Chains A and B, each alone.
Chain A
Amino acid sequence: MSDIVSIIQRVLGEVDLVLGWTATGAGGVAAPDRFQTAAEAERAVFNATCVHNLAVHLPRLKDKTVGIVAKGCDSRSVAQLIQEREIDRDRVKVIGVHGLGGMIDVRKIWRLHGYGVPVDARIDSLFIDGREVDRKEYLRQKCLGCRDTVPVVHDKLFEAQGPPITGIAEAATVEAILPGTGLGASLTAAEAMSAAGEDESRPLSELFANMNPTERRLFWREQYSRCIRCYACREACPMCFCRDVCIMQTTDPHWTGAGVDAGEAEMMQLIRVNHLAGRCTGCGECERACPVGIPLMLLMNEQNQVIEDLFGYRAGTDPEARPPLLTFDIKGDSRSEK
């Protein structure tokens, strides 16, 4: 860990502050921190609980030169922010983390072992309450199919030397896709989920894939019915930099009301999905921040896949690229003439 400290200390010579992590967050796991002096940087760590996408702070620190420790996935947010001219490449120093072996789902540990249980989440091993466990069991869902092991933009590289991520991705795809369930539209969303084979071992995305549109509609109604309109999904998103002029809350335009209603919460998420089209880097912070556990990434992942299929584009992989919805191709669009 002294490695990350010295890298941060070196970068501090070039910037006003560095965004990184300290070990002493709530629950005894890493929490975001910022360092302005070499002494402060002594408390910097990097371990498998450094899940936060620190890029969310960059648009708020435009008046400063900022160093940022960025995992591969985080670096896509940085790249996307640069592409959208939201931040100036010259004013950001990226310490890219290379060679991660996937990050740990602390919430899962807490759920199974109690909040605040001592966790030693190293890059290559995991100890819960002093006992080593199989870290693959506790990897974050989003890390399982990681395609971003190499930071897109970086000025310095921090070699984390974790286990190869490809092995993890393979290990994760053990469950076969479930056959169609032939569900009738009369089922409630909960019933649909049960019938679709809801159990711990099956990721929600598979259940979702097995639902027909009506079932999904009911599924989302149920999911959205518990939305408390806290806007954490938006605030946690590095790409949601409209901040206080976000159209989820304005009356001009008045796309959605401020009431708590599944329909309005649905509209709110539709706005988010729409606004992040071609911009979402799939970091998953919205879903992680959601206090009521709405699986927001189901929609984001779907849209990211559709955009990749349609336009061959992945947001945040090229700071110079022209985003697909801000341009067009007279002839080359995949859409067939109707």
Chain B
Amino acid sequence: MKFLAGENIAELLERLSSRSEVWAPRELRGSGGTVMFERWRSGDPLDLEHFASISAKDMVLPRTEKLFGFSYAFGGAAVGNPFGTPAEPAAGTPAEPAAGARTAGESIRITAAEPAGNVVLFGARACDAKALDVLDALFGQTEGKGYNDPQYRARRAGLTVITLACLTSDPACFCSSFENGTAEKAGSDLILYPVDGGFLAEAVTPKGESIIESGVNSRDKDDSAREPGDGDPETGEAASGPTLFEESGLEMPVLAVTAMVEGLEGLRQKLAAIFDDLEFWQAETEKCISCGYCTYACPTCHCFNIHDEMRGDREGERLRSWDACMFHLYTQETSGHNPRPTLAHRYRNRINHKFSYYPENQGEILCTGCGRCIRGCPVGLDIRDVLRQAVEASAGPGEGGDR
């Protein structure tokens, strides 16, 4: 294991930011103490103590992303030239369009979205990193898996995740309920374990290795923001920065163990058993105000909406943005009919999607136990209570047993 001194974190980020965007958790000004992953620029403070309110899924599935731009172009020449006398179409003007045909000369130009650049996500937690792995199962990090969303894949490929291992947890954390808990390595490229005076660094992927091995032990050649004396860009000579990762014999620290939700085995069947027990779902959601925070903060919720936004009548963009299954509009049909008319229906779907459908279809539980939905819920709704009660209810005699 290599050792990274705590005081070298800033230098590490400095070096990383010379070739990538760096995003790191920071307390936001004027936000009443909200911590979010924000674009890090030299000199920015970090908050590695508090948990970010919103997950890091933004890195691969932005809140809103442009899929492409479009504009209406016109080739129609003036009719009746010279102006002043109405006349037949001048030479070269397309013949009068047939009834119902498009406007003469109109065409639509498509402009591709700018390609995503490289991003380093610093200070994610195991649950955040694992969530990326969970999303990969749907969006297709690798060929042949998922439906290969090109924008997602490009962002994912350009993303390096440096995870901060959790030595402590809070009562909302429940990652230990799922597989490896705080020891989860999936989704991370490099994991930093806090120890006295710094961190032990463990590379999980070649990306992580390259950070330790080469990439950041010297300043990047193309660093335009270099200080004088950092090295000669022409010669490619390495900058004379300090070596950040040193050999270390320190012992691995003990990771936190978070709350467990018992009885989750066979949850799919248990949820199926109470699917029709609408009273159960009503009781669970009666305090819910369907604000949608849980889905927006969640590292694994990934429902999106695609919509065209026009600027004026001539040009616009096709955008993809987050959507939330807790919204009434989510399944609203054009006819006005809504197959999930109440909160109870919608919450049932949310739970089932996370713990039944997604595991069935993608082989991963759509929850990593990060606890954001618990910490931030304005009405104090706790998904673990719902799971526990679902387990309990499914065991109850005669309650939808034949499902």
The answer to whether B292 and A235 touch across the interface, beta carbons within 8 angstroms, is yes
Residues of chain A with a CB closer than 8 A to B291's CB: 230-232, 235-236, 289
Expressed in whole angstroms, the minimum distance between the Cβ of B141 and any Cβ of chain A is 24
> Are A258 and B309 within 8 A (Cβ)?
yes
Is B378 within 8 A of A292, CB to CB?
A: no
Selected contact of B63 from candidates A52, A228, A289, CB within 8 Å: A228
Within 8 Å of chain A (Cβ to Cβ): is B46? no
- Interface check A127, CB cutoff 8 A: no
**B379 touches which of A31, A111, A207, A228 (Cβ 8 Å):** A31
Chain A window 296-334, contacts with chain B (Cβ cutoff 8 Å), 1 for yes, 0 for no: 000000000000000000000000000000000000000
Given contacts A230-B293, A235-B292, contact A29 B380 (CB under 8 A): yes
What residues of A have a CB within 8 angstroms of the CB of B289 in the complex? 56-57, 235-236, 289
Kindly list chain A residues whose C-beta atoms are within 8 Å of the C-beta of B319: 257-259
B292 and A114: CB pair below 8 A?
Answer: no
Cβ-defined partner of A219 (8 Å) among B30, B297, B322: B30
CB distance from B339 to the nearest CB of A (A): 14
Using C-beta atoms within 8 Å of the partner chain, give the interface range for chain A. Answer: 35 or more
Binds B, one of A7-15, A20-28, A74-82: A20-28
Residue B332, interface by CB 8 Å: yes
B253 CB to closest chain A CB (Å) equals: 19
Decide: B33 and A258 in contact? CB cutoff 8 A: no
CA distance A32 to B51 in the complex (A): 25
Contact of B327 with A by CB under 8 A: yes
Minimal Cβ-Cβ distance residue in A for B374: A26
Asked if A190 and B305 sit within 8 Å, CB to CB, the answer is no
Quick one: CB contact mask for A16-48 with B, threshold 8 Å, 1 for yes?
Answer: 000000000111111111100000000000000
A235 surroundings in chain B (CB, below 8 A): 289-292
Contact: A258 with B293, CB < 8 Å? Answer: no
* B50 within 8 Å of A (CB atoms): yes
Q: In the assembled complex, which residues on chain B have CB atoms less than 8 Å from the CB atom of A193?
A: 29-30
Asked whether B172 lies within 8 Å of A232 as measured between CB atoms, the reply is no
Q: Which residues of A contact B329 (CB under 8 A)?
A: 244, 249
- Asked if B171 lies at the interface with its beta carbon under 8 angstroms from chain A, I say yes
Cβ 8 A contact of B171, one of A27, A111, A228, A291: A27
- Known A291-B54, A293-B32; contact A116-B322, beta-carbon cutoff 8 A: no
Does B365 reach chain A (CB closer than 8 Å)? Answer: no
Q: What is the minimal beta-carbon distance from A208 to any residue of chain B, in angstroms?
A: 8
Residue of A nearest to B33 (CB): A111
Cβ 8 A contact of B305, one of A116, A236, A258: A258
Chain B residue numbers with a CB within 8 Å of A114 are 170
A223 within 8 A of B: yes
Kindly list chain B residues whose C-beta atoms are within 8 Å of the C-beta of A228. Answer: 54, 63, 296, 322
Q: Could you list 13 A-B pairs, sorted by A, with CB under 8 Å?
A: A26-B375, A26-B381, A27-B380, A33-B286, A34-B287, A56-B289, A107-B33, A219-B30, A226-B28, A226-B36, A228-B322, A289-B289, A292-B31
Chain B residues in the interface with A (C-beta under 8 A): 28-34, 36, 50-51, 53-54, 62-64, 170-172, 286-287, 289-293, 295-297, 305, 307, 309, 317, 319, 321-322, 324, 327-329, 332, 374-382, 385
A residues engaging B (CB < 8 A)?
25-34, 52, 56-57, 107-108, 110-111, 114-116, 189-190, 193, 198, 204, 207, 219, 222-223, 226, 228-232, 235-236, 243-244, 249, 257-261, 285, 287-289, 291-295
12 new A-B contacts at CB < 8 Å, known A193-B29, A293-B53: A31-B379, A32-B379, A116-B171, A116-B172, A230-B291, A230-B292, A236-B289, A236-B291, A244-B332, A259-B317, A287-B32, A288-B378
